[in-house]
Amino acid sequence: MIYFKDIRWKNFLSTGNVWTKVKLNEHANTIIVGENGSGKSTILDALCFVLFNKPFRKISKSQMLNSINMGGLEVHVNFTIGKTDYIIKRGIKPALFEIYQDNTLLNQPGSSRDYQKQLEETIIKLNFKSFTQIVVLGASTFIPFMQLSVAHRREVIEDLLDISIFSNMGKLLKDRVADNRESIRDTDYQIDLLMNKIETQQSYIRKLKEQNDDTIATFQGLIDGAQDEINDLSQLSNTILLDIEKLSEQVQPLKGEETKRTKLDDIHKRMSTKVKNIQKKIQFFAETNNCPTCSQEIDETIKKQKIAEHEEQQKEIYDGEDKLVDEVAKLDKRIMELMEKQTELNSLQTQITENNSNIKSLNKSIKKNQDEIEKIKSTGVDSTDAIETLKTHEDDKRIYETKKEELVNEKELFGVAVNMLKDDGIKKKIIKQYVPVMNKLINKYLAALDFFVLFELDEQFNEVIRSRHRDEFSYASFSEGEKMRIDLALLFTWRAIAKLKNSINTNLLVLDEVFDASLDNNGCDEFLKLLNQLDNQTNVFVISHKGDILAEKFRNQIKFEKIKNFSRIAA
């Protein structure tokens, strides 16, 4: 989950050289108000700029720079993912783009585009299009999901379901298929060329008629040398086998020690879970004055007693955890020693395999040389060089034939992979599983917004909308207020799916002038009810001109004002 903490900016749009900071995790819901041009929507542009190097609204980079100071634009955003803290800094004049992980600046590649790709693909795992469908909703420049092209709808859903990787794999696979096709063509050419050389060499050997005794002696020397090498390798293998037997006995406890280590990890996890549960209980008694069941006031003595009991339990677990850590350290040391012996054992076994392979090759060489001697004796033909050349051509031909076989097998695998990675392959199966869940959530949120239609997306993300009378409509058939309800229902659905998939789940939701656009009073009331039903990990920011009407319905209010052409948060 991406948990946004705060954002701050200066010299951005109408903001001056003094930092403007907004805490993003302090209140469940916040309304941002102010007059036209006071800077209410700046937070949206700042968020999109610092994360994606582009503003939310249609503003050029030069327009983002404060027109009076003309320099020093900076935006910083602070968030956590799991237990890792991140700070992103981006600026103009001077140019700035830095990513800090746990206060350490990540290495910057040569290209800022690669650095941006690292941010989107490996850290926040969402792009601008997904961010503006799930995290922010603006009445002016926001393009609702239903107004996107089918291709862009699919792109959003693939990012949402973490299956866009299959599209990227498909693109890479396309290049691999082309390389494979070219390699097969080159291999066929080499095989044909070698076949011609083999035929020519065989014809040349048949014409050789002279016998050479030195050739026989040479072959015999090769045979004797190979036999001596076989004897040496056999003796070496016998020695290694004794060492292997000793090491095999020594590494037998390794599997048991690794099993024990796994069990200790499980115990550690359970202890951590128990500590979290105890901390929740301590927090409950520390922050709760009345019983949530009977509404009676909880006696202060009982609260202190319960807190003390839970703190004592927590201490006992911490003490046990320290002992467990010591035991794990000892066990890790023991496992490391055994693994070193296992590595030594593997090395010896590899050496045995290599020796056996070498002996096998030497025996083949002896057999071939003996055959050549017999051939020379019987025919009187000295064809050593010619035969070696022929052997080289034949070996090369076998190498290329083996290579072609591998390439053909690879081609078949690529064919299977291509079919799997097509839109109607594995992605279709995943999407098919989630479409009913999406439709159920969309209709749930539409009902919550007092809009009773049956809304369905098919697997190509085309909509079918039916009224109670079963009349069919399209998105374009509805009024702007009804379209806004559909857009909101889709927004909350994508957030719910993201949370279900834990892919791009985030605490932040920013809505720009939603109440000022197409929602009537009833729609506003229903939407506020929906916001109040969100979990306590969601922080909603609503930008609106209706501050005087809506302020009392929000837990927090931020008011922007413009003083001497500079925007700021009013005190």
Express each pLDDT in 136-194 by its tens digit.
766 555 567 787 887 777 777 776 676 766 767 777 888 888 898 999 999 999 999 99
Question: 491: burial class by Cβ within 10 Å (0-12, 13-18, 19+)?
Answer: buried
47: Cα separation from own chain's centroid? 22
C-beta separation of 106 from 126 below 8 A: no
Residue with tokens 């413009």: 562
- pLDDT average, residue stretch 466-486: 79
Residue 208 has pLDDT above 70, yes or no: no
244-248, 351-355, 423-427, 562-566: which range is least confident on average?
A: 423-427
Report residue 253's pLDDT band, with 50, 70 and 90 as the boundaries.
confident
DSSP tag of 65: B
Of 79-88, 146-155, 468-477, highest mean pLDDT: 79-88
pTM of the model: 0.51
Q: How far is residue 399's CA from residue 390's CA, in Å, rounded to a whole number? A: 14
Question: Which one, of 532, 527, 543, 431, lies nearest residue 486 by Cα?
Answer: 527
pLDDT at 109: 79
Q: What share of the chain is helix, strand, coil (3-state, %, to 5)?
A: 60, 15, 25
Dihedrals phi, psi of 34, to nearest 5 degrees: 150, 165
- pLDDT average, residue stretch 389-409: 90
- pLDDT average, residue stretch 329-345: 89
- In whole numbers, what is the pLDDT of the chain averaged over residues? 84
pLDDT at 395: 92
Residue 23 has pLDDT above 90, yes or no: yes
Q: How far is residue 36's CA from residue 31's CA, in Å, rounded to a whole number? A: 15
DSSP SS3 for 98: strand
Angle value at C-alpha 549, between 546 and 553, nearest 5 degrees: 110
Residue-wise burial string across 54-81, b where 16 or more C-beta atoms lie within 10 A, e elsewhere: ebbbeeeeeebbbeeeeebbbbbbbbbe
pLDDT at 99: 95
Angstrom CA distances, 292 to 287, 296, 299, 532, stand at 12, 8, 14, 19
pLDDT at 161: 72
C-beta separation of 526 from 448 below 8 A: yes
What tokens appear for 212 in the block? 């050479």
Q: How far is residue 127's CA from residue 124's CA, in Å, rounded to a whole number? A: 8
Residue type, 437: V
Q: How far is residue 54's CA from residue 136's CA, in Å, rounded to a whole number? A: 14
Q: Is the peptide bond before 94 cis (omega within 30 degrees of 0)?
A: yes
What tokens appear for 465 in the block? 């909308």
pLDDT tens-digit map of 548-568 = 677 777 888 999 998 888 999
C-beta separation of 65 from 74 below 8 A: no
If one counts every other C-beta atom within 10 angstroms of the C-beta of residue 124, the result is 19
Residue type, 382: D
pLDDT at 104: 95
Element containing residue 322 per DSSP (H, E): helix 300-379
Residue 500 has pLDDT above 80, yes or no: no
Report residue 121's pLDDT band, with 50, 70 and 90 as the boundaries.
confident
DSSP tag of 119: I
C-beta separation of 9 from 19 below 8 A: yes
Question: Which one, of 511, 515, 522, 516, lies nearest residue 448 by Cα?
Answer: 522
Residue type, 516: D
pLDDT at 365: 92
pLDDT at 524: 67
Provide the percentage of residues in the chain whose pLDDT is more than 90. 28
Q: How far is residue 495's CA from residue 59's CA, in Å, rounded to a whole number? A: 27
- pLDDT average, residue stretch 11-15: 93
The full 3-state SS of 270-317, as one line of letters, equals HHHHHHHHHHHHHHHHHHCCECCCCCCECCHHHHHHHHHHHHHHHHHH
C-beta separation of 494 from 441 below 8 A: no
pLDDT at 357: 92
Of 260 and 518, the one with more pLDDT? 260
- pLDDT average, residue stretch 294-307: 84
Give the bridge partners for 34, in sequence order: 560
If one counts every other C-beta atom within 10 angstroms of the C-beta of residue 430, the result is 16
What tokens appear for 29 in the block? 């819901």
Residue 534 has pLDDT above 80, yes or no: no
Of 126 and 516, the one with more pLDDT? 126
Q: How far is residue 467's CA from residue 444's CA, in Å, rounded to a whole number? A: 15
Q: At what angle do helices 521-532 and 426-448 cross, to 10 degrees?
A: 120
Element containing residue 192 per DSSP (H, E): helix 164-207
pLDDT at 229: 92
Strand order in the sheet with 566-569: 136-138, 508-512, 539-543, 29-34, 556-563, 566-569
pLDDT tens-digit map of 508-523 = 888 887 666 555 666 6
pLDDT at 535: 67
Q: How far is residue 514's CA from residue 236's CA, in Å, rounded to a whole number? A: 82
